Structures are given as structure tokens and as C-alpha cells.
Amino acid sequence: MDEFYKELSRYGTAEADQPLSKMTTLRIGGKAKYVIYPENEVSLDSVLRLCEKSGVPYKVIGKGSDLLCSDDPYDGVVIRLDRHFHHFYFDENVCTVQAGCSIIALAVQAMKNGLSGLEFASGIPGTVGGAIFMNAGAYKSSMAEILDEVQVLRDGKVEWMKADECEFGYRCSIFQKHPDWSIVGARMTLKPKDPKEISTLMEDRRNRRMASQPLDYPSCGSVFRNPEGMNAWQLIDGIGYRGKRCGDAMVSDKHCNFILNMGTATAEDYLKLCHEIQDKVEEKYQVRLHMEMEMFNWKQTV
Ligand SMILES: Cc1cc2nc3c(=O)[nH]c(=O)nc-3n(C[C@H](O)[C@H](O)[C@H](O)COP(=O)(O)OP(=O)(O)OC[C@H]3O[C@@H](n4cnc5c(N)ncnc54)[C@H](O)[C@@H]3O)c2cc1C
């Protein structure tokens, strides 16, 4: 193993040459040269310092449920928080949580504690950190509405940022402008409510998702953002792309804004289908669809 890998291994469990296809819900992506699972803020900070000192690029990820990775190798470090940063604490109706915690697991615990506010997130397969980064949302609610503060590791310091400093908008936040900031935790205020009522609502939402979303094949959720006042799926349906296939990438026939990996889809196939959709929708409706998922490790801007 090389010297960098040896140094990296001092700060947590490290792995070499691991496919990003195993770290993303879409099951697409080339090999990452290094992967590390930091155990706490101190080890995360040490990893970041090592990367900066050595000039090695890095990427903090959660569950990889919003990423379209290229098929190319990634010559850097993927920093995964979902193994160790999963602790949470309830103090009456205030919840303090680490960034790698599954947002679904947290929603279930909040329900058991008779706390309402996270029901919208109970079907989003990401981490708290990824959900904050994207300002994930559903059913007209989003992370921005429940967060009080976000704990960030930036410039070697751990700091709390107030939610109103985070520039939350539709699927966006200040963190998208600062890829070198790591979200390490969050604090949110929930509302007391009968656990049975919360669980009924969560069950109802689960059933709606099962009925409307193709959850039996790998995907990264909605591919395109909804343009102002429109639904992306209707525009895709309107160009006749329901069920359209490019290699093993296929527009779901259940929900047109989901593009599925039917087996061994390549990133190229997937992107080709996305571009075709963007061009055809623009031609027919004069509206350019923008990706909701993030493109990661692409050599040129696409
Ligand atoms: C079946 C399915 C359904 C979905 N439904 C929804 C939905 O209803 N609503 C919705 O909004 N999204 C939905 N998504 C998309 C996705 O689950 C969310 O955007 C989720 O919040 C991403 O979290 P993640 O941990 O997987 O992030 P990742 O995909 O791992 O990362 C996404 C981005 O966040 C950054 N990031 C992650 N963690 C950190 C951190 N700790 N610090 C700094 N940056 C970080 C990464 O670098 C990357 O840029 C769905 C996806 C799937 C597969």
C-alpha cells in the first residue's frame, strides 16, 4: 500500500479501490482510490488536514442517494459518515443528531418519542448531513423548517451555524457553495404529538410512495427539479419518454422523473438519456430541465 493510504489508516478504517457503484443507491460509479470511515470529529478533521497537506481531493458523502457518479476512477478519498456518525439525543422536544444518521431512522425514533416534524422525511433514503446539504423535502415540507442549527467543521473549527445563515431554498443550501465544509451535526425542534397519529401519517405516506415510486430498482430519486409551477414528470411524459431506455438506464413507467438502473447501466447511458430528455423537453415546451441529483467525478462539466 502507498504512503498516503498508510497515513489515512491511522484515522479510521480505510479501504482502497472501492467502486462508487457500491456506495450509491443508483449502483453506478467507477472505483474510488481511497475510502475512509472517520470515527468522530477529531478523526474527520485529521483526514481533512491530511488530504489538504497532500493535495489529495476528497468528498464527504452520506448514503450516496443523490449522486450520479461517472464510470471513471476517482483519484481521491471518499469520506463516509454513515458508519460512525449516527448518534442522536432527545431532550424533551429538541433533537441533536450526528450528520451520518439515517433520516428515516431518526424519523422513526422521533415518532416513538411522540415528536412530530420529520414525517415528511420518513421515506428519504439519505443521511441527516445529505438531507441538510440538499435541503431535502417532500409533501411541502423540508429540512429548513425543522432545523435550528447546523454543526459544521470548516477551516479546522467546529462551529454551529443558525438555520437562517444556511441560505436554504428549493433543494439548495449554502453548503453547495462550500464543498470544503463538512456538516457534522444538527439540532432541530419538533412538536409533541400522539405517536399513533404520527405513525398513521408515516404509514399513509409510505403507502403513497410505494404506489407512485419505482422502489424495486436502483435509482437516485427524482432526476430533475420541478420547474416553477410545473411537474418534471409531466413534461417527460409529454415527450413520450415513459419507459424509454438507453442501454440499461430506463425512464420508469411508474414515475417518469425516476430513471432506473435496470441491471448494468453505465453512467454514460444514464447521462445520455438525461440529455435527450432535456433537449426534447426544451424543444417541445421551451423549458430547460435541471438535474436534481448531483453529478460527481465527471471530467468535464456536463
Ligand atoms: C428512492 C429515493 C427517493 C428519494 N426521495 C426524495 C425525496 O422525497 N425528497 C428529496 O429531497 N430527496 C429524495 N431523494 C434524494 C436523496 O435521498 C436526498 O437528497 C438525500 O437527502 C441525500 O442524502 P445522502 O446522505 O444520500 O447524500 P449523498 O447522496 O451521499 O450526498 C449528496 C450531497 O451531499 C453532500 N453531503 C452529504 N453528507 C454531507 C456532510 N455530512 N457534509 C457535507 N456535505 C455532505 C455530498 O458531498 C453530496 O454533494 C430520494 C432518493 C431516492 C433513491
Does residue 102 form part of some domain?
yes
Residue 20 is assigned to a structural domain of this protein = yes
Angle at 30 (CA atoms; ends 173, 64), nearest 5 degrees: 35
**CATH number, residue 189:** 3.30.465.10
Q: From the CA of 66, how far away is ligand 1's center (Å)?
A: 4
pLDDT of residue 300: 63
The answer as to whether 112 is a domain residue is: yes
Instruction: For residues 114 and 180, state if they share a domain.
Output: yes
Residues 199 and 117 in one domain: yes
Alpha carbons 174 and 164: distance in angstroms, whole number = 10
23 and 94 housed in the same domain? no
Query: Domain range spanning residue 130?
Result: 88-212
Classify residue 218: in a domain, yes or no: no
Ordered per-residue pLDDT tens for the chain, 302 residues: 699 999 999 999 999 999 999 999 999 999 999 999 999 999 999 999 999 999 999 999 999 999 999 999 999 999 999 999 999 999 999 999 999 999 999 999 999 999 999 999 999 999 999 999 999 999 889 999 999 999 999 999 999 999 999 999 999 999 999 999 999 999 999 999 999 999 999 999 999 999 999 999 999 999 999 999 999 999 999 999 999 999 999 999 999 999 999 999 999 999 999 999 999 999 999 999 999 999 999 986 55
The stretches of the chain forming alpha helices (DSSP H) are 3-8, 41-54, 103-112, 128-134, 195-212, 232-238, 267-285
pLDDT of amino acid 244: 98
Using H for helix, E for strand and C for coil, what is the string for 149-162?
Answer: EEEEEECCEEEEEE
pTM over the 0.75 mark? yes
With residues binned 3-state (H G I as helix, E B as strand, rest as coil), the percentages for the chain, rounded to 5, are: 35, 30, 40
Residue 259 falls inside a structural domain: yes
How far is it between the farthest Cα atoms of the chain? 55
Q: What is the pLDDT of residue 299?
A: 85
| Pair 42, 154 in one domain | no
* Residue 173 counted as domain residue: yes
Give the position, in ligand 1's atom list, of the atom nearest the Cα of 142: 11
Supply the pLDDT for residue 139: 86
Same domain for 122 and 206: yes
Last residue of a domain, one of 180, 212, 244: 212
For a ligand 1 pocket test, name from 59, 65, 153 the mutation site with the most ligand atoms within 8 angstroms of its C-beta. 65
Instruction: Report, as residue numbers or ranges, the catalytic residues.
Output: 171, 222, 292
The whole-angstrom separation of Cα 130 and Cα 26 is 15
Closest CA to 155 of 174, 133, 182: 182
Question: Which of 61, 80, 99 is where one domain is finished?
Answer: 80
Cβ of 134 below 6 Å from ligand 1? yes
Atom of ligand 1 nearest to the CA of 219: 53
Question: What is the residue with the minimal CA distance to atom 6 of ligand 1?
Answer: 124
Residues 122, 204 within the same domain: yes
Q: Residue 181, SS3?
A: coil
The residues, any chain, with a CB within 8 Å of residue 36's CB and separated by 6 or more, are 8, 11, 12, 13, 14, 15, 47, 77, 78, 79, 80
Q: Ligand 1: does its nearest atom lie under 6 Å from the Cβ of 61?
A: yes
Quick check: CB of 51 below 6 Å from ligand 1?
A: no
- State in Å: Cα 134 to ligand 1 middle: 6
Task: Give the sheet arrangement for strand 147-154, strand by strand.
Answer: 88-91, 94-98, 182-189, 147-154, 157-162
Structural domain tally of the chain?
A: 3
Residue 223 lies in a domain: no
Q: How far is the CA of 27 from the centre of ligand 1 (A)?
A: 14
Distance spanning both ends of the chain, measured CA to CA? 34
Do 68 and 125 fall within a single domain?
no
Probe target for ligand 1 pocket from 61, 140, 177, 202, with the most ligand atoms within 8 Å of CB: 61
Give the CATH number, domain containing residue 59. 3.30.43.10
From 182, 212, 242, the end of a domain falls on: 212
Give 206 Cα–ligand 1 centroid separation in angstroms: 18
Do residues 129 and 106 both lie within one domain? yes
Q: Residue 264: which CATH number?
A: 3.90.78.10
Q: Report how far ligand 1's centroid is from the alpha carbon of 230 (Å).
A: 23
* Same-domain pairing of 205 and 99: yes
C-alpha cell at 271: 447521462
